[in-house]
């Protein structure tokens, strides 16, 4: 019981620290995550006022020949390593809203659960956005295609090129969405 109370207090303090950074326009590090079983895209964005810088980005890739439990454990372990290395102030995770491919919805949901568990382990505030919300925030149009979102990511970060994997670019878009919502005061942790 005492351990639970201490963990709860630490989580509350970490989340209050994040809110103070948002309110006072201080620098914060946002971890954007695009969940998946085969590929988890991630990015770390430093947000300082209206300025956004891409600190790091990449992917966690699992092998389809492994058991699902092994793949999920690998995602958890790798994400914990990323969190420990960079110590993000907040995380932006894609919310499952609608899935065209019914075969992949359960594995993606399982991977998303492991991701949320890892973030919760470290007391990182989690902000969830649907693809429609991300597109709306970045382009002004909720039905924008991938190329339009990619173009706005390049413009926002003032970059000519982006990582090759769509999953990584999607994670950057999520981080930008989170930063913009913070700046506009439209954010509520899940």
Identify the pLDDT of residue 12: 44
Q: What is the DSSP letter of 160?
A: S
Q: Can you tell me the distance from the alpha carbon of 174 to that of 181, in angstroms, rounded to the nearest whole number?
A: 11
34 a catalytic residue: yes
Residue 184: predicted pLDDT:
63
What per-residue confidence (pLDDT) applies to 7?
A: 43
pLDDT at position 187: 53
178 and 94 Cβ atoms separated by less than 8 Å: no
State the Cα–Cα distance between residues 62 and 82, nearest whole angstrom. 16
31: closest CA among 114, 82, 74, 90? 90
- Spell out the residues 6+ positions from residue 169 whose beta carbon is closer than 8 angstroms to its own: 41, 149, 150, 153, 162, 163
Catalytic residue among 89, 133, 167, 170: 167
CA 83, CA 102: separation in Å to the nearest integer? Answer: 31
Q: How much is the pLDDT for 23?
A: 43
Q: Is 166 a catalytic residue?
A: no
SS3 20: helix
**pLDDT in the model for residue 189:** 53
Active site residue 150: no
- Please give the CATH architecture assigned to the domain spanning 2-183: 2-Layer Sandwich (3.30)
Question: What pLDDT tens digit does each residue of the chain (190 aa) get?
Answer: 444 443 444 444 444 455 445 444 579 999 999 999 999 999 999 999 889 999 999 999 999 999 999 999 999 999 999 999 999 999 999 998 765 667 788 999 999 999 999 999 999 999 999 999 999 999 999 999 999 999 999 999 999 999 999 999 999 999 999 999 877 655 555 5
Distance CA 5, CA 29 (A): 27
- The active-site residue, picked from 89, 94, 133, 150, is 94
What is the reported pLDDT for 96? 85
């Amino acid at each position: 019981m005492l351990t639970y109370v201490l963990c709860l207090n630490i989580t509350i303090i970490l989340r209050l620290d994040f809110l103070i950074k948002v309110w006072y326009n201080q620098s914060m590090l946002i971890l954007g995550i695009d969940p998946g079983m085969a590929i988890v895209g991630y990015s770390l964005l430093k947000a300082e006022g209206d300025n956004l810088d891409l600190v790091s980005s990449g992917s966690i890739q699992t092998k389809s020949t492994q058991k699902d439990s092994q793949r999920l454990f690998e995602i958890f372990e790798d994400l914990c390593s990323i969190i420990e290395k960079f110590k993000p102030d907040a995380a932006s995770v894609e919310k499952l809203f609608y899935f065209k491919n019914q075969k992949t919805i359960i594995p993606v949901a399982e991977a998303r659960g492991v991701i949320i568990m890892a973030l919760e382990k470290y007391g990182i505030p989690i902000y969830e956005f649907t693809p429609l919300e991300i597109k709306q925030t970045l382009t002004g149009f909720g039905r924008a295609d991938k190329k339009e979102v990619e173009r706005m990511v390049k413009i926002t970060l003032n970059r000519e090129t982006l990582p090759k994997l769509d999953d990584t670019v999607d994670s950057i878009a999520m981080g930008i969405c989170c930063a913009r919502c913070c700046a506009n005061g439209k954010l509520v942790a899940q």
